[in-house]
Amino acid sequence: MPKLLVVDDEQKIREVIREYSEFNGYEITEAEDGMTAVGLCKLNDYDLIIMDIMMPKLDGFSACKEIKKIKDIPIIMLSARSEEYDKLFGFELGIDDYVIKPFSPKELMARVNAVLARRIKPSQITAEILEFDGLVINIPGRIVTVDGEKIELTPKEYDLLFYLVNNKNIALSRDKLLSDIWGYDFFGDDRTIDTHIKNLRNNLGPYRDYIVTLRGVGYKFEV
């Protein structure tokens, strides 16, 4: 049974999410602030986190940063803040989706199902460890090294790199990347892809040019 961690300082919201989650076959753990959420993630493993932003002790963005340092867990942000800046900042941190309050519990469950379904599995990749000069990509271990040094990527940056590499030398449109990695129902646009590509290139350092921009189309991984 998949395990969800629901983090929100409003008890009624946690209760609604618990009711719908358990109906959909998920096991639920609750936390009322970001600090508690980080502590729970240090002690337990979760398949997905639903996290509010505005909370006491530690806000959702800060909690997300801390959790990403220790575990690769998909996160759906749940917030009344609908500004584009907040959404883009969340995606830059590596969250998988952003749902605005008030929300439909049924839609939230659909997004949970979609995020869990599209997590790239090692069995979907044609090779387990790939080497391109000094760039080494260990797919099942989710480890990337540049000239022998391990680099830290967000979960979405890992997924994006693995997808590009697995489709090496194939032109991939932004729409296809959004659909296959973020999901067809993802709320976002081309800037989401461009932001992640920019961050990914910065992390790849001397091998940044392996990700080629195709003007008017999208990107491809080319060695």
Question: Residue 185 and residue 96: Cα distance in Å, rounded?
Answer: 12
Domain limits for position 133: 122-221
pLDDT at 87: 85
Indicate which CATH number applies to the domain containing 61: 3.40.50.2300
Phi, psi of 205 (to 5 degrees): 55, -120
Give the predicted TM-score (pTM) of the model.
0.60
Question: Is the pLDDT assigned to residue 123 strictly greater than 50?
Answer: no
Q: Do residues 58 and 134 both lie within one domain?
A: no
Point out the domain boundary residue: 95, 118, 141.
Answer: 118
Joined tokens for residue 16: 């609604």
Q: Do residues 110 and 163 both lie within one domain?
A: no
Number of domains in the chain: 2
142-188 per-position pLDDT tens digit: 889 999 999 988 888 888 998 899 888 888 888 888 877 876 555 55
Report the candidate in 56, 59, 94 with the shortest Cα–Cα distance to residue 76: 94
Q: Do residues 138 and 103 both lie within one domain?
A: no
Report the candidate in 131, 47, 31 with the shortest Cα–Cα distance to residue 96: 47
Block residue for tokens 């990527």? 153
Indicate which CATH number applies to the domain containing 165: 1.10.10.10
Q: Do residues 152 and 198 both lie within one domain?
A: yes
pLDDT at 186: 54
pLDDT at 204: 94
